Structure 1
């Protein structure tokens, strides 16, 4: 009798264990993603949301993560630090998310990273470039994205490439950037780098990204008579500035940095002739013509009938990286926890060819969470209508336009 009771109890336990495993296997893996769906920088969030849809469909069509479907919960931050922090608290304390993805600007990501550190929940950054966040030495922050230091280095290297026979030190170069942590961070780093190399900065002009009348700003830059303007901005302010340059008949070479001057919608928002006259090139995180991005580009164009922006590309790349980390975490335990996901992110080593970005590899620095393999590219506008990757040589599809 006792044997039968023990056998029955064992069978019940085994059955309940199998049922629990089956329920867990069917349970969706929920990952919150914070991004600015509304507000002055909503274009970044809307593009990131589209990328998240493609990523989720791609991952789930291939069997999900450890056999479980992925559900990305999109949360609007408006790009504001106080909202990002509030949402992080809700997601980690009430929602008990084991990890949060940030496809947000630097200001919003900074607020989220601060709370992630105190809550001890990993935050994977897919968009923000501020090196100031990395300088804080957070242990729960992982930046898949390049940093403002990378942007400054790439911009300087490209300027050296296009200067031709006339040395860069003899060129007249102006810096123009919006005054958020993102724009100012890269602008100030580039100026210091140029100062150290003896490069002449004829003017350094800042503006607020919410300002849609940039005529006085562009006139100030024009008065410094630059040959090349290095311009760090978002799509909305870049459009306002390009229209002001046309009004002033101001036609320097322009080297952009970030998503603004590389936005694929730019020819729809500004006369393509203006983009062509300024010989615009852009230091960027992504361009859809690089070989490794072909499958993502095809899926994006099919679903949305438009080219993916750099915002979409970098967010998609971060989601696919997180997929690898979650799969690794599930191998150690069927229950995802902040600690297991953090440990998986710490040990990632993904080859560059397995990404859609120009990265050499994906591996996070244990000291600050920086992606040690992050690199950028430069894409130049052709006829003011399409972008072609022109730098670095290893992934270039076309050739850069040289300064006269």
Structure 2
């Protein structure tokens, strides 16, 4: 009797729909789309580091951290030790480039899934390509609420979204008044004009009156701008006590420099993450970054509540000489969640991975995030994520809200520029 060759047997198995699960997969390609050049290159480099650390742990282990999934190493056990291979794409913070790169990763690189893309506007276009192709797309960081309001079947997001984050900001202000006796005063918003910034602006305009706050001015500036003088002059003329701000790294830094140059000194800047939590923000501004409060999803000082935070951060710091940020910690978590789904699927078939993602139920004890866990609803949104607020004091991010998790008290108001040491 003639036996089938390995190739012949593989063809039969694949024809029966069994090939991916029945055969050992030596390498599983996962496409990762991030801003590796252009205005987002600095944060993109950190996100790449986070992805590479996660892939290394999945493939080779982290035996000193047994509580971490895949810490035993040697790849995905349900796929006979298959290793994750990251295929990087650079979207340059350009939505059209992101869509083109998603197409390339799917059609030419033959990736089994996509992870990305930090910038909400790029995530929107890249995930549309994945949806049409029937390829799972996991988004670890983009927070535009509309991303999980599109009735997509293949899209999953692990981070909380801006509807929660903006609510958090106003809840903090109410608690600040009730528990600390600090009244925020009048509010202005200052946001970039991309998908993320414009959606945030609408949410802030809706929630301010609901929470009984006076919104005296809304200023939207061009994304990727190189000057903010006129916009900051408009803000200064409105004389708000508090500025709610959504900016990516270059414009977050530029805005702070412009505030100082023009002598604009509100009582507080309450930022919406992104550029304000990038390592380059404090590194570039030094003492001029002090006292800003920003929403976050991760803080090193929460390690007292979750030892995994310090253990994995120590590993990250030993390799890259920087700490995790809310951005990079979410990216790390995103790839770990995707690997968990592929492993549980026991297959590289897109539909099997999609079903495994939909069935995800990871407890908070296995995450480096201060969340209850990861579990997706029908829209693909993780329902167990949460936000915190941190304040920059002495060059570090300190948890200040929720108050029962705070590592230090809020400093309010910020000292005026000419009174800072």
TM-based fold match above 0.5: yes
Confirm or deny: 8 A CA contact 1:262 1:379 kept in the other structure.
Answer: no
SS of the equivalent of 2:123 reads helix
SS of the equivalent of 2:275 reads coil
Q: Residue 377 of structure 1: which of 368, 388, 391 is its match?
A: 388
Measure, in 1, the Cα distance between the counterparts of 2:86 and 2:403: 36
**In the alignment, is residue 354 of structure 1 matched against residue 366 of structure 2?**
yes
SS of the equivalent of 2:271 reads strand
**In the alignment, is residue 267 of structure 1 matched against residue 267 of structure 2?**
no
SS of the equivalent of 1:118 reads helix
Aligned partner of 2:301 in structure 1 is 289
Aligned partner of 2:128 in structure 1 is 114
Aligned partner of 2:34 in structure 1 is 35
SS of the equivalent of 1:289 reads helix
Confirm or deny: 8 A CA contact 2:176 2:182 kept in the other structure.
Answer: no
**Residues 1:399 and 1:311: Cα distance change in structure 2 (over 3 Å):** same
Q: Residue 132 of structure 1: which of 136, 141, 146 is its match?
A: 146
**In the alignment, is residue 391 of structure 1 matched against residue 401 of structure 2?**
yes
Give the superposed CA RMSD. Answer: 2.4
How far residue 329 of structure 1 moved from its aligned partner, in angstroms, is 0.6
SS of the equivalent of 1:371 reads coil
| Deviates further, 236-245 or 350-359 | 350-359
Measure, in 1, the Cα distance between the counterparts of 2:348 and 2:24: 12
Aligned partner of 1:152 in structure 2 is 166
Measure, in 2, the Cα distance between the counterparts of 1:21 and 1:325: 14
How far residue 197 of structure 1 moved from its aligned partner, in angstroms, is 2.4
Measured against aligned partners, the alpha-carbon deviations of 1:132-181 in whole angstroms (never above 9, x if no partner) come to 1211111110011221111111111122233343555xx11111111111
| Deviates further, 94-103 or 112-121 | 94-103
**In the alignment, is residue 208 of structure 1 matched against residue 216 of structure 2?**
no
How far residue 43 of structure 1 moved from its aligned partner, in angstroms, is 2.2
Unaligned runs of 5+ in 2: 11-18, 61-72, 415-421
Measured against aligned partners, the alpha-carbon deviations of 1:16-38 in whole angstroms (never above 9, x if no partner) come to 78xx9999536112111011111
Confirm or deny: 8 A CA contact 1:317 1:355 kept in the other structure.
Answer: yes
Q: 1:105-254 counterparts in 2 under 5 A?
A: 105-163=119-177, 164-165=180-181, 167=183, 171-252=185-266, 253-254=268-269
SS of the equivalent of 2:259 reads helix
Aligned partner of 2:16 in structure 1 is none
**Residues 1:328 and 1:193: Cα distance change in structure 2 (over 3 Å):** same
Measure, in 2, the Cα distance between the counterparts of 1:187 and 1:249: 24
Aligned partner of 2:270 in structure 1 is 255
| Deviates further, 393-402 or 198-207 | 393-402
Measure, in 2, the Cα distance between the counterparts of 1:301 and 1:396: 24
SS of the equivalent of 1:294 reads helix
| Deviates further, 353-362 or 48-57 | 353-362
Unaligned runs of 5+ in 1: none
Measure, in 2, the Cα distance between the counterparts of 1:395 and 1:316: 23
TM-score when normalising by structure 1: 0.88
The number of aligned residues is 383
Measured against aligned partners, the alpha-carbon deviations of 1:92-124 in whole angstroms (never above 9, x if no partner) come to 223332211113311111001111111111100
Q: 1:287-366 counterparts in 2 under 5 A?
A: 287-291=299-303, 292=306, 293-330=309-346, 335-366=347-378
SS of the equivalent of 1:101 reads strand
How far residue 191 of structure 1 moved from its aligned partner, in angstroms, is 1.9
Measure, in 2, the Cα distance between the counterparts of 1:178 and 1:207: 5
Measure, in 1, the Cα distance between the counterparts of 2:150 and 2:229: 37
Measure, in 1, the Cα distance between the counterparts of 2:104 and 2:152: 20
